[in-house]
Amino acid sequence: MNKKNQATEVTAPLPPREGHGGGSSPFPNEGQGRGSLFNIHGNVTVITGGTGVLGRAIAQYLALEGAHVVILGRKAEVGQQIVTTVREALAQSASDGSIDFMKTDVLNRNLVQQNCDEILRRFGRIDTLLNAAGGNMSGATIPPDKTFFDLDPQQFQTVLDLNLTGTVIPTQVFLRPMAEQGRGVIINFSSMAAFRPMTRVCGYAAAKAGISNFTAYMATECARKFGEGIRVNAIAPGFFITEQNRALLTNPDGSYTERGRDVIRQTPFGRMGQPEELCGTIHYLMSDASRFVTGTVAVVDGGFNVFAM
């Protein structure tokens, strides 16, 4: 069996990564071969919600770029399938990146802490946290045939918890080793719904608006108290077909629903996004190329957010 298909076993903690840490050069990785401005080789990256459509695409891209990726999620069977697929891709590449899966619940702080402790045991550090966990519930939405009075407050709270608190808890856990090592990157997942109060998705929009605000708050909090080596940003995907929104945007035959057509009409590119189209922005925000960038929400939406009639 090719060693790239085997479970990741690191016998000793990895050495500290260079960059993001001062020195006289504005680009601390300059002139170091693989250590270029956009280098993420050896980056120990944790992705919550990594078993989703977007998370798995990002995980495979980063592993092929040489990162050590650990995806966290609730669905162990799906997680292991993703690991198998990515390891097969790694075996056919020149990359020495890796991927692993750990079962978690982002609302269970003790379990997230156990995940963190195990990752530190294996790798000795954590460089990047991608908070991609989230979701929606029907009771937290208001379809056209219902009104605000039909909103289920309990499901509304659950959606807030899953998206917003499910970002806060992993940040609290994984930020600690970053603060201790003096460097690290946190990338949260916001949404188009954070910029506009879109119809239907009342709870989800409120949660994502909270994530954008939390991102801005944490950028200042971390820079002022832990130094410029800690950066916190967010990415706001436009419309991508995922398991969460597939039934809302597409019909069983694959054609667009009325809402799907509305999205296309308001997207200058005239199409939905592809999961892989998030990877470049994620890569940039992880790397030294964005070392003076913090507190921003990077929009990847085909122009949806700037469209006007």
Each residue's pLDDT tens digit, 178-237:
999 999 999 999 999 999 888 899 999 999 999 999 999 999 999 999 999 999 999 999
Q: CA neighbours within 13 Å on the CB side: how many for 70?
A: 28
**Domain contains 75:** yes
Give yes or no for residue 126 having a pLDDT over 50: yes
8 within domain boundaries = no
Q: For residue 164, is it within any domain? A: yes
What pLDDT, on the 0 to 100 scale, is given for residue 115? Answer: 98
Residues catalogued as catalytic: 204
Kindly tell me if the per-residue pLDDT of 28 is higher than 90: no
Tokens of 41: 């080789």
Dihedral, CA atoms, 127, 231, 58, 303, nearest 10 degrees? -170
Average pLDDT over residues 154-164: 98
For residue 12, tell me if it sits in a domain.
Answer: no
Q: Return the higher-pLDDT residue of 16 and 230.
A: 230
* Whether the Cβ atoms of residue 219 and residue 263 lie closer than 8 Å to each other: no
Structure tokens at 240: 């991508």
- Stretch among 112-126, 191-205, 222-236, 265-279 having the lowest mean pLDDT: 191-205
3-state class percentages of the chain: helix first, strand second, coil last, to nearest 5: 45, 15, 40
Of 148, 102, 141, 131, which is closest to residue 244 (Cα–Cα)?
Answer: 141
Pairing assessment for the beta strands 184-189 and 128-131 based on DSSP bridges? parallel
Report the length, in residues, of the chain. 309
With respect to residue 116, please indicate whether it lies within any of the assigned structural domains.
Answer: yes
Q: Tell me the pLDDT band of 101, cut-offs 50, 70 and 90.
A: very high
Does a structural domain hold residue 27? Answer: no
For residue 135, give the CATH number of its domain: 3.40.50.720
* Domain membership flag for residue 280: yes
pLDDT score recorded for residue 18 = 54
Is position 155 within any domain?
yes
Q: Which token pair is 263?
A: 């999205």
Number of domains in the chain: 1
Q: What range defines the domain where residue 196 resides? A: 35-238+273-301
Dump the DSSP string for 91-128.
HTSS---EEEEEE--TT-HHHHHHHHHHHHHHHS---E
